[in-house]
């Protein structure tokens, strides 16, 4: 039996292990998953909601177990294990518990301009939302509970089964998700966690998977999409980010600086939607920089499980810490200057990189447009609204961003001008924890939506049924005739042109059907 071991990057000690799955066994896993899904699909929505409630209650009752598992995998501070991971997951469970009870899995279609004709012909349409089948959730390491759980709970609520492939850096949390579904009374094999090298690729390339939900790097997302293309498997991709924070002179600078420190350094900056670029209007640049430097200098870094006052934890592994060193060196070579941080923490054992603020990088430097997945943020001055929007949109990433101003009208106007998927006015990044709001980006940040009713719908297939009571012939059926052709022309001009004899045309149409 091969195992995958988890190492806590805050201590560099092994936390536990899980059994791996050979890629050649993935088809058997899919077969088990499909068998479970076929039974689950027949469970009424209200019964699904009961199990979702039980899952939510189990997670909250065992909050310490869940939070500690996350810490063992990631080294996150205790506060983040609860607020960014467990809270986000519990809210999502509650949202889908409520949604599945009120969602219209069958709804009538308003025929619009054809409504009068369809009513006269005694015809109607309705749409059913049916489960997709087997959903593959391929998850990242940075939020090993919150990201795959929110996606999994939506898929299960919609009537699907889930095969969860956690990051190899965080296997314990991924396995915990699967275990908690089973312990909460969901059918065996409805949520299966698989681990080990090659399994993500095997899942993405399998014809037995009905949708892939991938969260991770843009480069890996392209690989997943290429693998899925062979079977025309639909994909949802939530990829990288390079989020901008725009701070106007009229903003509450103190509050904006407080949020900037959190949004830049939460989860040691390993956040796809974390703030990476801060554009501050020229009149407030020096003041804001001084505030942020002062606040960032006071936050403490270390093992946040042993000391609840610790705010910044480690990078996930040695490779990630080394990459931050490389990125800082590049920014400095481009003209940048680190006013705090810019190095590994020399006082800590583990993969800790200090929170880093960099200024003086040219606005058009390559590092400004590329993703930085760590605790490094760059600050730049700007002059006016037009320049702020242009600078914020200078990268191909388009996941999220924020605008800071006391002028609400200006804030929403700028928000509408920016192209990222979510723009927050006077706050930043936390809306992933609002399950009723859509989550997704465009460009290098991917496509598709999770969260919200739209995200829930994307976990199902739309099935249209059109019902005709069945009598007579339609005017467009063969054989064609001069009279029938004239009637069809009259239908076009009466209903969609300048013609006004709609009722008369309908009567002639119904009469022609009786003749047929």
The fraction of the chain above a pLDDT of 90, given in percent, is 89
Q: Catalytic residues, which ones? A: 238, 272
- pLDDT at site 515: 61
- pLDDT at site 473: 82
Confidence band of 505 (pLDDT split at 50, 70, 90): confident
pLDDT tens for 204-251 read 999 999 999 999 999 999 999 999 999 999 999 999 999 999 999 999
pLDDT tens for 330-360 read 999 999 999 999 999 999 999 999 999 999 9
Of the chain, the end-to-end C-alpha distance in Å amounts to 72
- pLDDT at site 493: 87
Strands 275-281 and 211-215: unpaired
- pLDDT at site 484: 86
Hey, what are 12's tokens? 């560099």
The fraction of the chain above a pLDDT of 70, given in percent, is 99
- pLDDT at site 27: 98
The residue among 218, 200, 146, 236 whose CA lies nearest residue 432 is: 146
3-state secondary structure of 467: strand
- Per DSSP, which regions of 159-314 are E strands? 161-165, 191-193, 211-215, 235-238, 243-247, 275-281
- pLDDT at site 161: 98
Mean pLDDT of the region 31-40: 98
Mean pLDDT of the region 73-86: 98
**Which residues, 6+ apart, have CB-to-CB distance to 311 below 8 Å?**
77, 79, 265, 299, 300, 301, 304
Phi then psi for residue 168, to 5 deg, are -70, -15
| Averaged pLDDT of the chain | 96
- pLDDT at site 82: 98
- pLDDT at site 502: 77
Burial state string for 11-31 with b = 16 or more CB within 10 A and e = fewer than 16: beeebbebebbebeebeebbe
Hey, what are 460's tokens? 């199902």
Mean pLDDT of the region 238-267: 98
**Which residues, 6+ apart, have CB-to-CB distance to 322 below 8 Å?**
none
- pLDDT at site 516: 54
Strands 376-382 and 275-281: parallel
Mean pLDDT of the region 141-155: 98
Mean pLDDT of the region 493-505: 79
The residue among 471, 304, 275 whose CA lies nearest residue 379 is: 275
Separate counts of helices (H) and strands (E) for the chain: 19, 20
Mean pLDDT of the region 279-299: 98
- pLDDT at site 393: 97
Mean pLDDT of the region 125-147: 98
What is d(CA 441, CA 447) in angstroms, rounded to the nearest whole number?
6
The residue among 183, 237, 147 whose CA lies nearest residue 432 is: 147
Give yes or no for a contact between 443 and 396, defined as CB atoms under 8 angstroms apart: yes
Residue 495 burial by CB count (10 A; 0-12/13-18/19+): exposed, middle or buried? middle
Confidence band of 503 (pLDDT split at 50, 70, 90): confident
- pLDDT at site 93: 98
**Which residues, 6+ apart, have CB-to-CB distance to 201 below 8 Å?**
23, 223, 227
Is residue 510 over pLDDT 90? no
Confidence band of 499 (pLDDT split at 50, 70, 90): low
Mean pLDDT of the region 161-182: 98
Length of the chain: 516
DSSP per position, 98-127 = HHHHH--SEEEPP-GGGHHHHHHTTEEEEE
What is d(CA 266, CA 260) in angstroms, rounded to the nearest whole number?
10
Mean pLDDT of the region 310-327: 98
- pLDDT at site 209: 98
Q: Which residues pair with 461 in a beta bridge?
A: 130
- pLDDT at site 492: 87
Domains of the chain: residue spans and CATH = 23-239+453-462 (3.40.605.10), 243-434 (3.40.309.10), 472-515 (no CATH)
Q: Whole-prediction pTM value?
A: 0.95
Is residue 4 over pLDDT 80? yes
Hey, what are 237's tokens? 């991709």
What is d(CA 397, CA 419) in angstroms, rounded to the nearest whole number?
10
């Amino acid at each position: 039996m091969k195992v995958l071991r988890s190492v806590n990057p805050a201590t560099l000690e092994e936390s536990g292990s899980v059994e791996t799955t050979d890629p050649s066994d993935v088809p058997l896993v899919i077969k088990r998953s499909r068998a479970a899904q076929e039974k689950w699909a027949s469970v009424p929505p209200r019964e699904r909601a009961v199990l979702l409630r039980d899952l939510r209650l189990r997670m909250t009752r065992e909050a310490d177990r869940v939070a500690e598992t996350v810490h063992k995998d990631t080294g996150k501070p205790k506060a983040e294990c609860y607020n960014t991971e467990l809270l986000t997951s519990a809210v999502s469970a509650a949202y889908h518990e409520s949604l599945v009870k009120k969602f219209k899995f069958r709804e009538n279609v308003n025929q619009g301009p054809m409504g009068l004709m369809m009513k006269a012909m005694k015809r109607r349409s309705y749409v059913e939302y049916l489960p997709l089948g087997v959903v593959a959730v391929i998850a990242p390491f940075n939020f090993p509970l919150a990201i795959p759980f929110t996606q999994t709970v939506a898929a299960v609520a919609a009537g699907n089964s889930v095969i969860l492939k956690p990051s190899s850096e965080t296997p314990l949390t991924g396995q915990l998700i699967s275990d908690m579904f089973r312990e909460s009374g969901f059918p065996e094999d409805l949520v299966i966690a698989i681990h080990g090298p090659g399994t993500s690729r095997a899942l993405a390339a399998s014809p037995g998977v009905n949708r892939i939900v991938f969260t991770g790097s843009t480069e890996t997302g392209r690989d997943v999409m290429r693998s899925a293309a062979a079977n025309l498997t639909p994909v949802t991709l939530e990829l990288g980010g390079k989020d901008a924070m725009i701070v106007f002179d009229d903003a509450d600078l103190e509050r904006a600086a407080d949020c900037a420190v959190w949004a830049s350094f939460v989860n040691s900056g390993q956040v796809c939607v974390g703030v990476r670029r801060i554009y501050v209007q020229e009149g407030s640049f020096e003041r804001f920089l001084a505030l942020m430097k002062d606040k960032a200098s006071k936050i403490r870094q270390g093992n946040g499980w042993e000391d609840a006052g610790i705010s910044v934890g480690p990078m996930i592994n040695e490779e990630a810490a080394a990459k931050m060193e490389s990125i800082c060196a590049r920014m400095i070579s481009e003209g940048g200057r680190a006013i705090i941080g810019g190095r590994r923490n020399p006082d800590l054992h583990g993969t800790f990189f200090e929170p880093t603020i960099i200024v003086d990088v040219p606005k058009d430097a390559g590092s400004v447009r590329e993703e930085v997945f760590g605790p490094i943020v760059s600050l730049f001055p700007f002059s006016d609204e037009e320049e702020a929007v242009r600078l914020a949109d200078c990268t191909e990433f388009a996941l999220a961003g924020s605008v800071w101003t006391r002028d609400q009208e200006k804030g929403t106007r700028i928000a509408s001008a920016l192209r990222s998927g979510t723009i927050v006015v006077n706050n930043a990044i936390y809306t992933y924890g609002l399950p009723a709001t859509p989550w997704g980006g465009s460009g290098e940040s991917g496509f598709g939506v999770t969260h919200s009713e739209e995200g829930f719908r994307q976990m199902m297939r739309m099935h249209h049924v059109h019902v005709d009571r069945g009598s007579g012939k339609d005017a467009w059926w063969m054989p064609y005739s001069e009279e029938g052709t004239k009637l069809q022309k009259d239908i076009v001009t009466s209903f969609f042109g300048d013609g006004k004899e709609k009722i008369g045309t309908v009567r002639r149409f119904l009469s022609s059907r009786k003749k047929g």
